[in-house]
Structure 1
């Protein structure tokens, strides 16, 4: 147990090791070069996050007005649906002050939060807000989760993994995920999760929270709002549902300009060409109109033909005057896509730092000039925290097998080879034989060369073939020795599959619910305690 910022925390007994992201082998070239401050990326963002850069961001943000009264009014309305939290209420009050700024992370409302990193992103934003207060005590900082509830990719958001088992929400609903409602199929998933995790010490607690938040008929964005509030309210996290008429009214001029002039497509195309020339893969692709229209239970593209605007796959069509009036009357019907969503986010929040994953980092880096064009401060970009969590049994098994935490990121066959090389009593090293082969053929070359130089190519081919066959023999010996240690190899496989499901990072696949069922809120407290701010490292957390 420990205290921080007046709150009491109950943590798991654990130890941690920090690794560089490069050591893990799981992160993109762009993410790694951003962290190393590679000069090729410097034109695409304002400054790398640092204490001094936060101070500069504060000064930039002061020069841009935020409609704080509207923001707080909308948030207070949204919070009427969840249990009161003194910490959240205090942060909402702070947002009305011109000396308060935000640290933001954003994510779609995956069912039941989706992959584990959803939790890490939010805790990272909380940590940055608290550190910023330590560095700049004359200001206040509020952590925000911005819900990307208008995403319509059900294939991506409508499933989760519980202990390696994929669970899918089989619904017939379509359109923006956040506007879908909790139906019978989703409630059946709640029951399946409860049956699987309910045996844990805190299984009933997390199960009750799911049933409370995901009630029949409630929208997914409202259910997600309540569930995130349950998990993070005591940290003062503010959740924003931007799918709101008043919030979108703030961006009416942006929407109108996009519909009438399509400025963002040319700006993003120029940046994309520059990134491609610098050797980076373009993450997001711009459309002529980077807005969708929310209508008829769907999220539809808007296309312009001459002086008419057509909502694709619907009967909705507008003249220029009509669509401008539609923005004024019903801004909630317009949904910015990946190109304009970040701009809209920064228009409604007094933000300094944005916490995102590698993919988010990649598309934000495409957008600096769009921000510049509209005069919106571009935030500091922080690569989100990453964790690998080992429970006690897994930590003991890893130690028993003789693996250091950093080794666990190696491929399965490499882990098995590492174990055999350490534990086998057989001599499996063929390097000596290969060295001997080289000496033999070197002698033949010295002998045959003076006789006929053309024989050297034949000797080189023989050496290559012989070395290849010796190498194959070495692999066969290694495979045979693995069979001789089948039990140990099965343990290695089991550990690797548990920690890296589908050969990916644990955080990208597994949901947090089984962990919460085992540890309760101490899981969140422990992750919070070990969450980094600006350090930008990967954390391996082992339960003792």
Structure 2
């Protein structure tokens, strides 16, 4: 697959929040909420801070070695796991839940961005080693979000009765049937059968979703040395016992983050609000909030209850049963990994900007925050369509109505504006005002109102003229609607809706290579890839 890339500032797309645009532009009012700039200097600062923090690399390497027993690790992955034992090795991390079949396209983009960043830093800061890590949020219980995909605008949903953490759910007959339903969309392409064989080899009956996702992600990215980490692990969570206790009994994280969100909320929409206790209780079929009522700890929507002593014992004996929410997840990630940068989407970075005070309180190094890469993929047919209409890639992000109006105004031979006439009306009423002023000063205001009314009538007439002219361009309107529906399914960015499989089915591993080649590092630009 050959492509022609072009780049836009994120603000030109109209799809990104004010807080993320201000972060990209390094606006002054936001600088108080993070520590390091998203560039090489920021990375060097993060390395210096990380060197002062004593993490347990041996536990991390042991856990990773054990987790990789489910696959045959590639030489690149083995090497990177071994490198983690060395004090001069640091990780670059991205994170996501185990959506079935990877979920949305941006799942792929954020991983490749992290890989590309590691490669760039290995070249530019050669005295250190940099390893890309995918941190799998397998404890997430939101099946409604994780249990469906879209292929060419069609929704495929996993109908299962299972509950609790999605990563612990098992592949069942419903998911296997879903694969067969999807197959017809893929086998028409050159690499469709190869992809289906891969999906079937990962999603085997009774295999957990986290293991299936682990195998799929490993197969796609093992040649790049990507390490996949499953944080749902007792040995890793043991390092968080002190913080978990502080959260359960003293509600300290809630107190700290609330101060930050109060301040942040003066300028931006707050992404995530802390709870008194920021932990879920995690056991087979259950991932529910811990709530304290009169010194008794309840697991929401269950009959499970613990006294203070019982919850301490449970934490000590079964740390794996305590699952951090969005407020504590970052702390956990940065405690167990020798991490210096986090690559995330707009929503993720918005909540990370709430957490600096929390990291400082617990003396855990705060990473460089990097807005993940975004792509729009445009095939030859769509490219030909929009070029025929004399549109460029920036135009594509305008509203459908604006595109149609602009096209009609460019293509029509008729006059659609009444600017001269409106000016003439304005001048006429100004002359009338001079006349009535000499008779009765109170008539001036009435004359001004008549002028405004007359101009408003002309504005309304302009709109009717445009509407009438648009009817002559119905074919072009249909083409614009088609372009918008293909590139912005359900009015959203393509990457937030569509799955990677149709693209992989067409181009095979070349699709991953193309994205890798066009992945940026610190530029933080939106990339449009036109098929050549």
Superposition TM-score, scaled by structure 2 size: 0.97
1:115 maps to which residue?
A: 104
- 1:534 corresponds, among 522, 528, 532, to 522
Cα distance in structure 2, aligned partners of 1:171 and 1:258: 34
Give the SS at the match of 2:272.
Answer: coil
SS at match of 2:521: coil
Q: What's the secondary structure of 2:376's corresponding residue?
A: strand
| Structure 2 residue aligned with 1:473 | 461
Residue 142 of structure 2: aligned partner: 153
What is the match of residue 61 of structure 1?
Answer: 50
Partner of 1:492: 480
What is the alpha-carbon distance in structure 2 between the residues aligned to residue 23 and residue 446 of structure 1? 47
Match runs of 1:159-238 below 5 Å: 159-238=148-227
Show the counterpart of 1:482. 470
Aligned position for 2:391: 403
Once the two structures are superposed, the pairs formed by residues 228-307 of structure 1 within 5 Å of their partners are: 228-277=217-266, 279-307=267-295
Residue among 331, 334, 350 paired with 1:346 = 334
Aligned equivalents of 1:215 and 1:483: distance in 2?
Answer: 54
**8 A contact 2:373–2:519 mirrored in 1:** yes
Whether the aligned pair in 1 keeps the contact of 2:36 and 2:45 (CA below 8 Å) is no
- The 3-state SS of whatever aligns with 1:160 is strand
State the Cα distance separating 1:352 from its structure 2 match.
0.4
Structure 1 position 132 matched with structure 2 position 121: yes
**CA deviations over 1:341-360 (Å, ceiling 9, x no partner):** 00001111000000111111
Distance 2:417 2:194 in 1: 54
Q: Secondary structure at the match of 1:339?
A: helix
Map 1:406-421 → 2, pairs under 5 A: 406-421=394-409
Residues 2-37 of structure 1, C-alpha deviation per residue, up to 9 Å, x if partnerless?
xxxxxxxxxx21111111111111111100111111
Secondary structure of the structure 2 residue equivalent to 1:252: helix
Q: 1:443-483: CA deviations, max 9, x gaps?
A: 22233222222222222222222222222222222222222
Distance of 2:148 and 2:297 partners within structure 1: 35
What is the alpha-carbon distance in structure 2 between the residues aligned to residue 171 and residue 534 of structure 1? 41
Larger mean Cα displacement after TM superposition, 380-389 or 189-198: 189-198
Partner of 2:312: 324
Secondary structure in 1 matching 2:90: strand
In 2, the alpha carbon distance for the partners of 1:419 and 1:250 equals 61
Structure 1 Cα separation of the partners of residues 424 and 205 of structure 2: 74
Q: What's the TM-score once normalised by structure 1's chain length? A: 0.95
Counterparts of 1:453 and 1:148, CA distance in 2: 74
SS of the aligned residue for 2:366 comes to coil
Alpha-carbon shift at residue 264 of structure 1 (Å): 0.5
Residue 294 of structure 1 deviates from its aligned partner by 1.0
The CA deviation string for residues 142-197 of structure 1, in whole angstroms up to 9 with x for no partner, is 00111111111122222211111122222111111111111122122211221112
Question: What residue ranges of structure 1 are gaps of 5+ in the alignment?
Answer: 1-11
| Corresponding pairs, count | 532
Question: Which residue of 427, 442, 448 maps to 2:436?
Answer: 448
Q: CA deviation at 1:296?
A: 4.7
Alignment of 1:20-35 (within 5 A): 20-35=9-24
CA pair 202-446 structure 1, distance change in 2 beyond 3 A? farther
- SS of match in other structure, 2:253: helix
TM superposition outliers: structure 1 runs of 4+ over 4 Å: none
Match of 2:323 among 311, 327, 335: 335
Q: SS of the counterpart of 1:405?
A: coil
Q: Which residue, out of 503, 509, 514, partners 2:497?
A: 509
Deviations 1:228-260 (A, max 9, x none): 111111111111111112221222222222222
CA distance in 2, matches of 1:257, 1:89: 36
Please state whether the residue corresponding to 1:228 is helix, strand or coil: helix
1:418-454 deviation per Cα after TM superposition (whole angstroms, max 9, x unaligned) = 2112222222223233222222222222332222222
The whole-number CA distance in structure 1 between the counterparts of 2:360 and 2:143 is 33
The C-alpha deviation readout for 1:385-440, integer Å capped at 9, x for no partner, is: 11111011111111111101111000000111121122222222232332222222
In structure 2, C-alpha distance between the alignment counterparts of 1:119 and 1:300, rounded to whole Å: 29
Who is 1:358 aligned against?
346
1:3 aligned residue: none
Change (3 A) 1:184 1:459: farther
Tell whether the 8 Å contact from 2:232 to 2:320 is kept in structure 1 after alignment: yes
**What is the alpha-carbon distance in structure 1 between the residues aligned to residue 328 and residue 418 of structure 2?**
58
What is the alpha-carbon distance in structure 2 between the residues aligned to residue 513 and residue 454 of structure 1?
Answer: 72
Q: Distance in 2 between matches of 1:118 and 1:245?
A: 26
The 8 Å contact of residues 36 and 43 in structure 2, kept in 1 or not, is answered as: no
